[in-house]
Structure 1
């Protein structure tokens, strides 16, 4: 609590000063009125004094002070009084003017003859008023009060006959000073409460704004999902009904099956983007910062997207900076999976929106960053449309008519880039095309992964290396298990299925496998538990590569890797993702017992 107060003290002090000055400014007109009413009384009493010339000089000084004070009040009401320090100095000088005026009146009263004591008591009353009107500002009070009180008190105590009046004047000034200090404390406390009240109002407005944004986001999600899912599932349902022979329909053609497959994949992409966007919006989207080889990753993404480009008659080229290809040190520090997701989105958009021409992918060093550019010859966007395209659930109607999508890809890609310490920028021209640039941190001190990645590919194709793997999958969901099994068998692998982690661990004890793919959440024994059980057993399967197949939660991925999983594959799985994960796992060297223990 004390640390919190120290943190907020400087802004509170500035706010308290502003409030104190505002309160003092509000009192200044009353001070002018009080001194104006007091002037006739002083003139009447002063007319009985012996020295008329000094009396006239006192009135002139009083008038000058009153005029200067009036000018200060007028200035404080104008726009030029926004500077708090200058404003505080002006108000302090105004108080000092009246304090010096009281001292001058005391000097005049000291030699006023028969009305000396009366004039000094009037000067004491003037000092009390100066102290009262300085009560709102502690600094002004501590400076003005001693100067205003010194004149009448010194004059009263300097003559023995007026010591009794001096004691009364001292008591009045002391009581006034004590009350004004209490009043000042109450005012400062009130100012602090007002500031806390303002902060609570601002926090409440911020919470309301966040709630409104969440409500708008959820309504956008419902609208997007209802449209995309309804349209996609309707087409898939018709094709499946035809395949099942319902309603006497003919069997669907290959073209219809491909259309249904595209619709299903679009639905998965929409759902993934929506879930990731909501996770990012709530601040729960996590990324892993690890070194990886950007050139290999980019070539893999281009290789996967090239068939789609060729299908539309587009040329897809990649240009790599020679400094990146020939380097001996350095790697990108970011999340490889999220980087692949961003690049797949940018390349997919370029292919989707480009009707004819070419798409170029360029990667180069820019200081301590790596820049990846995706340039296309698509329709291009105006500056307003480009800003609009990066907003969630927003699509540019001019270019996106008839193209499926949730309008989340660019927004999510930019959020992911910022989470990884990079940025995603774009420039575009209507009728020319667009260029999207992803920049990520590059660490020169990291060992280069380029040679290792290039040597891994020939090793995989070396003579004697089996292309067909014996894979054990553990998945409790029958549909997910069937889909994963179909993908693996389509890739030419032999698959053994276990329904939970305990069954998978038991099978790993009695049979040899080349690869394990374990679901994160399973009954009896979950993925991390099954991974730890396999790593703890004796035999050849102890060092087998393990792929954790999870739902996408960062904590779940961390638990699996800490238990001993080598790779993480997030659901929903696709053929390309499974093939890439299996290929990466098959290139992992089998660690010895000591080697894994050291790892």
Structure 2
């Protein structure tokens, strides 16, 4: 009757009580019918009583109780009955109402003269009826049964001539009580089965919803990637075919090469965003929580995007709160790489979607937080379009036509901001522009600069203090020939010397006989994988035991943790880019493992 869970109901015991009250509620209409049928019988027997006035009062009490009981049955169908505590009180009081009426009937029957004993037996029968209809709810049964039985039994045992009838009435009431307790026990077991069934259904629905979400996600991934990969690879293929001289084509121009490079970079960005989004959706995306300098990070990103803005005729301005520019103390708390990813996304979106006007990036304090706001004069979004923009694999058709992208940037950025204890806020107006604000925790006591070496030089930022020297000797352990060739090309482009090993065992053998400044290990290799190789390098007796190690992984958080625990200093996720390799090499080469206490990791 009441399928929804009542208010003020605990998840365990309250559910049992709810089912018990539901069972009793289902019996109440039948109770009304029984009392309605029993009334004519009682009226006929009572007509032989000597006191007509008292009989009229008894009939009036019976009618009043019947009306009140009917009102209770009607009330139990309303929303007010969803409060479990109130409902239990009403149902117990309605049972006691009939129990008290039975006592009044017994008192009337005691003075009914020749029909005293039949009327008392009828009262005992009414007590049995009260006990039966109170059986589903144990509390109602324990309270109603004694009150209903005490009147008829008292008056039957009060006179010697009705003691035998009293014994029969007592036996009938005792039997009814025993059967009611058995019925209550059986209903309790049925309720336990019903609750288990409900729990099982909820679990199955949860699993089904998760499966449907996964299916929709995979479908969106396939649809998005098929479009983006097809477009990107088609352009790259045409340029490469021209470069190879196939089909009699002329060599590609610089513009064509730049277009192919842009398409390949867009494709890598789509793949990275897709991997990050799926990892975050599964709860396996890990972020660091360290102090870093936000102003320098934002300034670097603005400098990188300013040429793209100028090429479109846009003004890209940066405004930093003076206190943040001047103070040496204070740092944002979060993951600098993920923060860079978020800011790069929202600044890149502003440049991408703004046709004319200006873009302003502001960095300011908000109590114990720092806010990085990117405002533009682009097309703007309505509230509905803004909600759609933050959904994975959803793009706003009005503003996104002809613009590459997977529709993952804002969704992933908001997830990353939340993982770092911050938020990504957005305001927009159609035809005016948009403003996206990244808010992160800020610690005003954190140190963002390195101490000068001799006390007389100006402190330099920590990120710049450990810039790696040129011509590092780097050992690359990678079993995939294409990945190894690509990594070698990037490292040599950065001016380093590269030695390649096809597996971890070969890399370990080379480390025993040659000195290296840096080792880059694939996380998953035959013979010896990345974690095993890193642990073996740390166990060497020579100088390479303290060599900086970069683990090149496929993006799995568990794989990253295994490599770091085994001794790697930092991780680099595939597919790699020139900027990512340069940052990873700089971070790893800047570490001084020899200054660390034994057993301590170089990773914060």
TM-score in same-fold range (> 0.5): yes
Report the more deviating stretch, 297-306 or 32-41: 297-306
Instruction: Give the alignment partner of residue 527 of structure 1, picking from 526, 530, 533.
Output: 530
Change (3 A) 1:71 1:499: closer
Mapped pair 1:408 → 2:408: yes
Match of 1:298 in 2: 298
Q: Distance in 2 between matches of 1:60 and 1:598?
A: 89
Cα distance 1:455–1:60, how it changes in 2: closer, same or farther (>3 A)? Answer: closer
* TM-score where L is the length of structure 2: 0.90
The 8 Å contact of residues 12 and 192 in structure 1, kept in 2 or not, is answered as: no
Query: How many correspondences in the alignment?
Result: 587
How far 1:232 sits from its partner (Å)? Answer: 1.4
User: By how many angstroms is 1:218 displaced?
Assistant: 1.7
| 2:188 matched residue in structure 1 | 188
Q: Go from structure 1 to structure 2 and tell me whether the alpha carbon gap of 1:552 and 1:157 turns closer, same or farther (over 3 Å shift).
A: same
Match of 2:271 in 1: 271
Distance 1:180 1:214 in 2: 50
User: Matched residues in 2 for 1:501 and 1:66: separation?
Assistant: 88
1:565: which partner in 2?
Answer: 568
Counterpart among 500, 503, 506 of residue 503 in structure 2:
500
Q: Is the 8 A contact 2:275 2:555 kept in 1?
A: no
SS at match of 2:119: helix
* Match in the other structure for 2:482: 479
Aligned mates of 1:71, 1:534 — CA distance in 2: 83
Q: Please, which runs of 5 or more residues in structure 2 have no aligned partner? A: 1-7, 452-458
RMSD of aligned residue pairs (Cα, Å):
2.5
- Does structure 2 conserve the Cα–Cα contact (< 8 Å) formed by 1:296 and 1:450? no
C-alpha distance 561-292 of structure 1, shift in aligned 2 (>3 A):
farther
Taking the TM superposition and a 5 Å limit, the aligned residue runs for 1:52-91 are 52-91=52-91
Q: 2: CA distance between counterparts of 1:459 and 1:56?
A: 103
Instruction: Point out where structure 1 has 5 or more consecutive residues left out of the alignment.
Output: 1-7
CA contact (8 A) 2:476 2:498 kept: yes
Offset from partner CA, 1:52-79 (integer Å, 9 cap, x none): 3322322222222223223333333445
Q: Distance in 1 between matches of 2:599 and 2:77?
A: 77
Q: CA deviation at 1:368?
A: 3.3
Q: 1:243-254 maps to which residues of 2 (within 5 A)?
A: 243-254=243-254
For residue 553 of structure 1, what is the aligned residue in structure 2?
556
Q: SS where residue 170 of structure 1 aligns?
A: helix
CA deviations over 1:406-430 (Å, ceiling 9, x no partner): 1111111112222222222211122
Distance 1:115 1:558, change over 3 A: same
Kindly tell me: are residues 539 and 321 of structure 1, through their superposed partners in 2, closer, same or farther at Cα, counting changes over 3 Å?
farther
Query: Quick check: 210-219 or 74-83, which moved more?
Result: 74-83
| Distance in 1, Cα, partners of 2:465 & 2:85 | 74
Q: 1:365 to 1:131 in 2, by over 3 A?
A: same
State the Cα deviation string for residues 529-587 of structure 1 (Å, max 9, x = none).
Answer: 33233323334433332222222222222222222222222111111112222233343
Distance in 2, matches of 1:98 and 1:269, equals 76
Relative to 1, partners in 2 of residues 1:279 and 1:243: Cα closer, same or farther, differing over 3 Å? same
1:251-288 per-position Cα deviation (integer Å, ceiling 9, x unaligned): 11011111111111111111222222222223333333
Q: Is the 8 A contact 2:466 2:587 kept in 1?
A: no
Whether 2:539 is the aligned partner of 1:536: answer: yes
Secondary structure, aligned partner of 2:406: coil
Asked whether the equivalents of residues 448 and 462 of structure 2 are also in contact (C-alpha less than 8 Å), the reply is no
Residues 275 and 367 of structure 1, relative CA distance in 2, 3 Å threshold: same
Q: Any residues of structure 2 matched to 1:194-593 within 5 Å, and which?
A: 194-327=194-327, 330-443=330-443, 447-451=446-450, 454-456=460-462, 459=465, 466-589=469-592, 591-592=594-595
Give the Å deviation of 1:130: 1.1
Distance, in Å, in 2 between the alignment partners of 1:284 and 1:588 is: 27
Partner of 1:4: none
User: Counterpart of 1:591 in 2: which secondary structure?
Assistant: helix
| Pairwise CA distance, 1:343 | 1.9
Q: Measure the CA separation in 1 of the matches of 2:376 and 2:187.
A: 65
Residue pair 1:320, 1:364 contacting (<8 A) in 2 also? yes
Larger CA deviation: 173-182 vs 518-527: 518-527
Cα distance change of structure 1 residues 261 and 184 upon mapping to structure 2, 3 Å threshold: same
Residues of 2 paired with 1:130 and 1:590: CA distance?
83
Tell me which moved more, 222-231 or 42-51. Answer: 42-51
- 1:487 CA displacement: 1.4
Distance apart, 1:289 and its partner CA: 3.2
Equivalent residue for 1:95?
95
**1:64-123, CA deviations, whole angstroms, 9 ceiling, x for partnerless residues?**
222322333333344543433333323222222211111111112222222222211111
Distance 2:380 2:461 in 1: 40
Distance 1:93-1:292 versus aligned 2 partners, 3 A rule? same
Q: Relative to 1, partners in 2 of residues 1:290 and 1:553: Cα closer, same or farther, differing over 3 Å? A: farther
> Which residue is equivalent to 2:127?
127
Q: Secondary structure at the match of 1:217?
A: helix
Once the two structures are TM-superposed, the CA of residue 303 in structure 1 deviates from its matched residue by 3.7
Match of 2:404, SS state, is coil
- Name the SS of the counterpart of 1:435 in structure 2: strand
